[in-house]
Chain A
Amino acid sequence: MSTTATAIGVSSKRGIWGGGNEPLNASYGKLMMWFFLLSDIFTFAAFLITYAAIRVSYPEYAGAMDTFQGSNEYWPVPELVFNAFPFAHGLHLPLVFVGLMTFILIMSSVTMVLAVEAGHRNDKKDVVKWMLWTLLGGICFLSCQAWEWSHFIHGSDGGSLLTYVNSMNEVVKETVFGANLIVNEYGPASFAQLFFFITGFHGFHVTIGVVLLFLAFYQAAVGVYERRGHYEMIEKIGLYWHFVDLVWVFVFTFFYLI
């Protein structure tokens, strides 16, 4: 067995099939985290591919960019929908806020790698420091997403004049503000539905991640991992946190850029 801090222990008394061995040279927890993440990749991929399928079933907006008006007849242009920024009401700042969110998440991913790296060195002080930064990044990202959702739901000043079937099954023509699951001022109903579903599911993952990060931060700070002899928990939670970042990279491309 190597002398570096690790959770891997190979039993020499029992045979290969006797249990207690680590297949693929990875500890049980890490292996299962990888397979969980693989299943989660499929879930998110199904969502994003569904987005693509529904999107190509609608016509694209063909008019001029500066006279864009939301309609349920065609798919909206994302940079004209997501163009708001906190405390900058009325300004056209396309994708700036999502860009900021992406930056925050990538940075928190970097501090997470630094925490994992410190864990390999059994450096408790560094682990605690970088875990705290990661935790902060996660909370910042969630706060940004809360603002993003709130703005998306409340909508723009002007709204859009739409003809649609309401929840009472009546055809109505009225100015719609913001978004809900039945109608939205930006595009077809499925545009807002997919927005809520995909970014919501990702935000849910981030929320779980923040809880796990706090747990690991606390346990590292009070010395649980030090007594245990290794910082593998940081590594496992790190895998999950990087996965959340990985998914956001894809959500950013498919939802906000394309």
Chain B
Amino acid sequence: MAAHNNKSSLEVIPRDNEKIKKIWKTAGILLALTIVEFIMAFTMDRGLLLYFLFIALTIWKAKYIMMEFMHLGDEAKPLFYSIIVPLIFLVWLVIALVKEGTDIFMYRW
């Protein structure tokens, strides 16, 4: 009896190879960006320029993960903005805390 109940009424839609190709392409981009970061860590001098490039590449990767893997771009626009816009608060947190840290450095050393 159980076997009969498990019989599916859902229709299986065949694979769309275009979609699957796009997923693997995104994966390739993510891995390539990570490898670029890796190479930069050993070939460039440590400094503000390198840190800036690291952060830019990281945000670029984050964009791919959120838009392609999490499909945030396909959601309704109000949902998209209600997730992205609050992140602006973090900009202030970065400015405030890094300033705080620099000031502590001045006092301490």
Residues on A facing B (Cβ under 8 Å)? 5, 24-26, 31, 34, 37-38, 41-42, 45-46, 49-50, 52-60, 77, 79, 94-95, 99, 102-103, 106-107, 109-110, 112-114, 117, 120-124, 126, 223, 226-227, 229, 238-239, 242-243, 245-246, 249-250, 252-253, 257-258
Q: Are A249 and B87 in contact (CB under 8 A)?
A: no
Contact indicator A59/B10 (Cβ below 8 Å): no
Interface string of B52-96 (1 = CB under 8 A from A): 001101100110011011100001101100110011011001100
Residue contact B54 to A253, C-beta cutoff 8 Å: yes
The answer to whether B108 touches A99, judged by C-beta atoms less than 8 angstroms apart, is no
CB pair A5 B10 closer than 8 Å? yes
Decide if B76 touches A245 in the complex (CB within 8 Å): no
Residue in B closest to A73 when the chains form the complex, CB atoms: B109
* Interface residues on chain B, number (Cβ under 8 Å): 58
Restricting to B20-73, which residues have a CB under 8 Å from any CB of A?
20, 23-24, 26-27, 30-31, 34, 37-38, 41-42, 46, 51, 54-55, 57-58, 61-62, 65-66, 68-70
| A110-B93 contact given A59-B109, A122-B13, CB 8 Å threshold | no
Among B51, B58, B98, B102, find the residue whose CB has the most chain A CB atoms closer than 10 A.
Answer: B58
Beyond contacts A94-B42, A122-B13: 18 other A-B pairs, Cβ-Cβ < 8 A, are A24-B82, A37-B83, A41-B87, A42-B89, A45-B93, A46-B93, A49-B97, A54-B101, A56-B102, A121-B16, A126-B15, A223-B6, A226-B8, A227-B6, A245-B65, A245-B69, A253-B55, A258-B54
Q: Which one of B10, B24, B55 has the greatest number of beta carbons of chain A within 10 Å? A: B10
Chain B interface residues toward A at CB < 8 A: 5-6, 8-16, 19-20, 23-24, 26-27, 30-31, 34, 37-38, 41-42, 46, 51, 54-55, 57-58, 61-62, 65-66, 68-70, 75-76, 78-79, 82-83, 86-87, 89-90, 93-94, 97-98, 100-102, 104-105, 108-109
